[in-house]
Structure 1
Amino acid sequence: MEMKKHEINVAVVGVGSMGKNHARVYSEIANLIAVADINEKQGKEVAERLGVMWYKDYHDLLNMNIDAVSIAVPTKYHYTVAKDFIDHGKHVLVEKPLCLDMEEAENLVSLAKSAGIVLAVGFIERHNPVVRFVKEGLRNKKLGKIISASSRRVSSFPSRIRDVGVILDLAVHDIDIMRYLVGSDVVSVYTVGGRNGESAYETHASITLKFRNGVVGYVEANWLTPMKVRKLWLTCTQNYVEIDYIKQSVRVSEARVMEHDSMDLFRVPFEYNIREFSLKKEEPLKNELHDFLGAIEEKRRPLVSGEDAVKTMAVAFSAIESLNTGEVVEIDSRT
């Protein structure tokens, strides 16, 4: 979708794998003023390509004429960097996960709310057009009600990840999407998985989610598959829905049994109604940053607010706890 350019001054802190793409998109849709990164080679390369200033220390940006900032530094620094910008009146988008513990995440939400600051969190798949398409179908009751959801998010080991495991890096996306589409809180989590190789964190996890409204979700994520897969399947009361995030396509299916000979179950005829939707390609990151800047201009909540991200974090941390203890973790009281 075509969107206007935002007359908002922005900066990016951390221009590694994701951050440099934030900078690229901002240069197209807003006024990118500067980037900051402690890696001089990395920072200068992005700054020179986009024609902006590079700073080694993000503190140099705090008192500049900047309205908003994307924070894409390692997760362990999210809280400190985000708090500094909130304290200086800057709107903030923090890459997921918001923080490494619930107390810090909840504190950021409280600080942003008190300061009247937009705090958005980078759950990029929420901005994929296939999610918008399916959410609309559920809202309009064209698909029926969700009974269960199952996702697979697998690929090979990423060199960029150092401080979190596969649950906070990959599975958290599907936890967020399921919460959004199901429209209900998760009340319990059970996880099995483990660690392969020399990783300090889990490299594969299978997570079962129980929602308050009775829906069950299954999340599979790993860094062990020599193939990138990003898919979601929904069993609904009226249709079976298959979502491919990479292809940005949706398949909606239903079938009914035709008249048949009850003594010949080998040849039972079915009537299938299968609809394929290949959506117009959109860059989810561009949608995400348009939404963030639009929230600032329109004084509204972003699609993924800090409060929303805290609820997803509670589920993700409970999934890690379940993996470590081997027990079902009840999270009703945490959300």
Structure 2
Amino acid sequence: MSAKNLRAGLIGLGAMGRNHARVLAGLDGVDLVGVADPMGDQHGVAQGAPVVPTVEELIALGLDYAVVVCPTALHEEVGLKLAEAGVCALIEKPLAHTAEAARNLVEAFDARGLVAGVGHIERYNPALQSLRTRLEHGDLGEVYQVVTRRQGPFPHRIADVGVVKDLATHDIDLTGWVTGRTYESIAAHTVSKSGRPHEDMVAAVGMLTGGVMANHLVNWLSPLKERSTVVTGDKGCFVADTLTADLTFYANGAINTEWEALRAFRGVSEGDMIRYAIPKREPLLVEHERFRDAVEGKESDIVTLSQGLRTVEVAEATLRSASTGETIRLSQAAEAVR
């Protein structure tokens, strides 16, 4: 170990925690000095670091920061202990199981001036990072709509939240991030087909600032795994596949056609298609690098707790809409949990 390296701890060795352990163990400038999991290291992934049963024992090892990868329902309790001990934290998404719990975490870390972030990993997907840069440069002109599809088989590791707070929070966060907009309202329908207490499918329509429409279709009932984000604007549309990290641009055509049946259509026409060659680094590694840099006091693009709170608020508004059949305005939703 290096005396100059940051001392990091990991909380939780479930499926995602094991990925974090792998990345932390090889992260430049960081030493993984301990892991907390009451079940121990069942898969032998602690990379030689001591494994303790409680958060308190992990904190006692002396930490600069901790990565929280325990069940969502425990995020508030664990996060508050870290904040009280003066330990910075990277907390897996969603930030917390309720907006009230998320707000408590924001206040606790802010009050102590501690660096804290949320693990919304899609922000570090190469396709979405490239897409965001191109939107900022005006490659699409005015943005009209964002459509996301996220589906796949049921993840048995998830037991404490439904598909809205587990999967749809990815799409809520990335939609606001790539467009630079915030949600003004949301309307949604959910169903539960797997016999579990939580919803496992959602269809939602949101309105963002500036009149941008968002559509989200999310489920974990499909054998087909799909992660698609389509952004349409007045110059064409971008299609980002975050499974393969591919980004494709479909331009509006500028060539007149002599085909009478097509000429009668007064909308856009098909133009060039460009598939971009972009560097493809592992998103989880990039996420850890950015958070390490933030803890070291460097300028770094991390997902703040306030941004994570906003995503939980939109997720709760989505569930409230599905329950009441009403369109929920986000200002109302935020006030309802204060």
Give the corresponding residue for 1:311.
Answer: 310
**SS in structure 1 opposite 2:177?**
helix
Q: Is the 8 A contact 1:184 1:211 kept in 2?
A: yes
My pick for the range that moved more, 111-120 or 278-287, is 278-287
Aligned partner of 2:290: which letter?
D
Give the corresponding residue for 2:83.
Answer: 86
Which of residues 135, 155, 173 is equivalent to 1:138? 135
**SS in structure 1 opposite 2:148?**
strand
**Following superposition of structure 1 onto structure 2, how do residues 1-335 of structure 1 map, counting pairs within 5 Å?**
7-29=5-27, 30-42=30-42, 45-47=44-46, 50-256=47-253, 258-261=255-258, 264-265=260-261, 272-298=271-297, 302-333=301-332, 334=334
CA offsets 1:145-175 (integer angstroms, 9 cap, x no match)? 2110000000011110000000111111010
Q: Is the 8 A contact 2:140 2:232 kept in 1?
A: no
Q: Structure 1 residues 132 and 203, CA, compared in 2 at 3 Å: closer, same or farther?
A: same
- Whole-Å Cα distance in 1 between the matches of residues 172 and 166 of structure 2? 11
**SS in structure 2 opposite 1:327?**
coil
- Whole-Å Cα distance in 2 between the matches of residues 53 and 255 of structure 1? 57
CA offsets 1:233-283 (integer angstroms, 9 cap, x no match)? 000121210000011110011132533447x31588966211101422211
Q: How far apart are 1:297 and its partner, in Å?
A: 0.8
- Whole-Å Cα distance in 2 between the matches of residues 85 and 260 of structure 1? 64
**SS in structure 2 opposite 1:18?**
helix
**SS in structure 1 opposite 2:173?**
helix
Q: Structure 1 residues 246 and 261, CA, compared in 2 at 3 Å: closer, same or farther?
A: closer
My pick for the range that moved more, 298-307 or 7-16, is 298-307
Q: How far apart are 1:66 and its partner, in Å?
A: 1.2
Q: Is the 8 A contact 2:11 2:69 kept in 1?
A: yes
**SS in structure 1 opposite 2:26?**
helix
Q: Structure 1 residues 85 and 271, CA, compared in 2 at 3 Å: closer, same or farther?
A: closer
What is the number of equivalent residue pairs in this alignment?
326
Q: Is the 8 A contact 1:86 1:112 kept in 2?
A: yes
- Whole-Å Cα distance in 1 between the matches of residues 240 and 61 of structure 2? 43
Q: How far apart are 1:76 and its partner, in Å?
A: 0.9
- Whole-Å Cα distance in 2 between the matches of residues 173 and 118 of structure 1? 22
Unaligned runs of 5+ in 1: 1-5
Aligned partner of 2:188: which letter?
T
- Whole-Å Cα distance in 2 between the matches of residues 100 and 149 of structure 1? 26
Q: CA RMSD in A?
A: 1.9
CA offsets 1:174-216 (integer angstroms, 9 cap, x no match)? 1001111221221111001200021110010011111121000
Question: How many percent of aligned residue pairs carry the same amino acid?
Answer: 29
- Whole-Å Cα distance in 1 between the matches of residues 178 and 133 of structure 2? 10
**SS in structure 1 opposite 2:57?**
helix
- Whole-Å Cα distance in 1 between the matches of residues 121 and 270 of structure 2? 37
After superposing on structure 2, the runs of 4+ consecutive aligned residues of structure 1 that deviate more than 4 Å are: 266-271, 299-302
- Whole-Å Cα distance in 1 between the matches of residues 163 and 92 of structure 2? 15
Give the corresponding residue for 1:3.
Answer: none
Q: Is the 8 A contact 1:118 1:302 kept in 2?
A: no
Q: Is the 8 A contact 1:243 1:250 kept in 2?
A: yes
CA offsets 1:64-98 (integer angstroms, 9 cap, x no match)? 22101001111111001111011111100111111
- Whole-Å Cα distance in 2 between the matches of residues 296 and 55 of structure 1? 24
TM-score, scaled relative to structure 1? 0.92
